[in-house]
Amino acid sequence: MAKRRHKGTDEILLIPFLDILCSLIGVLILIIVVLCVAQSQQTQGRTAEEVRMAQEHKDMLKELKEREEQKVKVEQMLVKLQEVQKNLEDKQQRFVNLRKLLSSSKELQEQNKEISMKLQKELDDLMTEIDGMTRQEKETKKEIAALTAELEKRKIPESKKLPPVVVQPSGSGMPETTKVYFVECSSGSLKVLGAWDDQDYRLSASASVVVADVAYNHFLTEVSKDKNSLILFLIRDDGQTAFNAGAGRAEADYKVRVGKLPIPGRGQLDLALFDKFRGKIPAPAAGAPAPTPPAGTKS
């Protein structure tokens, strides 16, 4: 501690202490700034880039859903157009038959003018219906053209499509007898990939749905029948919670062997390297109740 003599009194020199204190304050401020910057660049443990990619994925799913809805509308309008065209053809044929009857049956007109008047009225009504249906056909075609154009605009350009994610077997491979089934885990949902009829099946990853969903529990029941089966859960960066729900049900209640594989990026999954190991099960019966887990397990 530095001291100096001044007028016979001992004085403590405080300048070194102030220097140290200022240095400590500066270091603390720097640490706080670094922590704030790091915190601002992360959201719920994810970096800003991961958040951006997650938002892009969410927007893409929304876009795909809207495109699917547009496609369904087009299909419905095409069915409606076919019905209109068929009805129009029927009406036109009836119109031709009635006109032929009226023009050729002079004797009928003279014998029964009342019948003739009814036929003429029906002919006039048919003309009105034909005009209306012709306009409806044109409007339906116009609406279909507009929906088709909207679908075309919503197509994702090849240059903007994300590259596929090739899923590769880990380690030294697996036994030839292994039958592998895939479940994709993403934010709030599970998707069984092509386990039956080459169709994917999506369900909510909430615990209540996973326990009660008929198709998912049918899937687990069928897979559990073969001890060589493996369900490989493919986990997107936001799919850990979904994995916990889906894999937990498979392991705890059905004693199915499971594996997990983190999936980087947002591209479509390419499972071609597993083709010879892919397992298949029969499709769930329509309207069937959810199967009960095997005896000795909890539900």
Q: What confidence score (pLDDT) does residue 245 get?
A: 95
We report the CATH number of the domain holding residue 227 as: 3.30.420
Neighbouring residues of 208: CB distance < 8 A, sequence distance ≥ 6: none
Provide the number of structural domains found in the chain.
3
Question: Looking at residues 190-200, what average pLDDT do you find?
Answer: 89
What is the torsion angle, in degrees rounded to the nearest 10, for the CA atoms of residue 51, residue 54, residue 56 and residue 57?
Answer: 180
Q: Are strands 258-262 and 229-235 parallel, antiparallel or unpaired?
A: parallel
What is the H or E stretch that residue 32 is in? Answer: helix 15-40
Residue 33 lies in a domain: yes
Assess whether 67 and 111 both reside in one domain.
yes
For the ranges 41-45, 138-142, 175-179, 212-216, the lowest mean pLDDT is seen at 41-45
For 31, the token pair is: 């640490």
Residue 35 lies in a domain: yes
Assess whether 146 and 199 both reside in one domain.
no
Of residues 202 and 152, which shows the higher confidence score?
202
Assess whether 108 and 130 both reside in one domain.
yes
Assess whether 147 and 177 both reside in one domain.
no
Q: What confidence score (pLDDT) does residue 3 get?
A: 47
Question: Looking at residues 194-223, what average pLDDT do you find?
Answer: 92
Assess whether 17 and 86 both reside in one domain.
no
Give me the residue label for tokens 């640490």.
Answer: 31
Residue 1 has pLDDT above 50, yes or no: no
Q: What confidence score (pLDDT) does residue 8 get?
A: 47
Residue 290 lies in a domain: no
Residue 228 lies in a domain: yes
Assess whether 65 and 18 both reside in one domain.
no
Assess whether 66 and 95 both reside in one domain.
yes
Residue 84 lies in a domain: yes
Highest mean pLDDT pick, 31-35, 84-88, 167-171, 174-178? 174-178
Assess whether 240 and 257 both reside in one domain.
yes
Residue 284 lies in a domain: no
Residue 256 has pLDDT above 80, yes or no: yes
Nearest residue to 147 (alpha-carbon basis) of 68, 85, 73:
73
Assess whether 216 and 186 both reside in one domain.
yes
- How many C-beta atoms lie closer than 10 Å to residue 235's C-beta? 19
Q: Indicate whether this model's pTM tops 0.85.
A: no
Nearest residue to 265 (alpha-carbon basis) of 64, 56, 40, 59:
56
Containing structural domain, residue 31: 3-40
For the ranges 9-13, 27-31, 63-67, 221-225, the lowest mean pLDDT is seen at 9-13
Of residues 10 and 195, which shows the higher confidence score?
195
Nearest residue to 184 (alpha-carbon basis) of 238, 251, 223, 234:
234
> Which pLDDT tens digit goes with each residue over 36-89?
766 655 555 556 666 666 676 677 667 767 777 777 777 777 777 777 778 778
Assess whether 229 and 170 both reside in one domain.
yes
Question: Looking at residues 18-38, what average pLDDT do you find?
Answer: 75
Which of 158, 182, 205 is the endpoint of a domain? 158
Using CA atoms, how far residue 108 sits from 98, 118, 120, 140, 150, in Å, is: 13, 12, 13, 41, 56
Residue 282 lies in a domain: no
Assess whether 100 and 29 both reside in one domain.
no
Strands, E assignment, 124-187: 165-166, 179-186
Q: What confidence score (pLDDT) does residue 89 get?
A: 80
Q: Residue 30 has what DSSP assignment?
A: H
Mean confidence (pLDDT) of the chain: 77
For the ranges 15-19, 64-68, 139-143, 223-227, the lowest mean pLDDT is seen at 15-19
Assess whether 169 and 271 both reside in one domain.
yes
Residue 299 lies in a domain: no
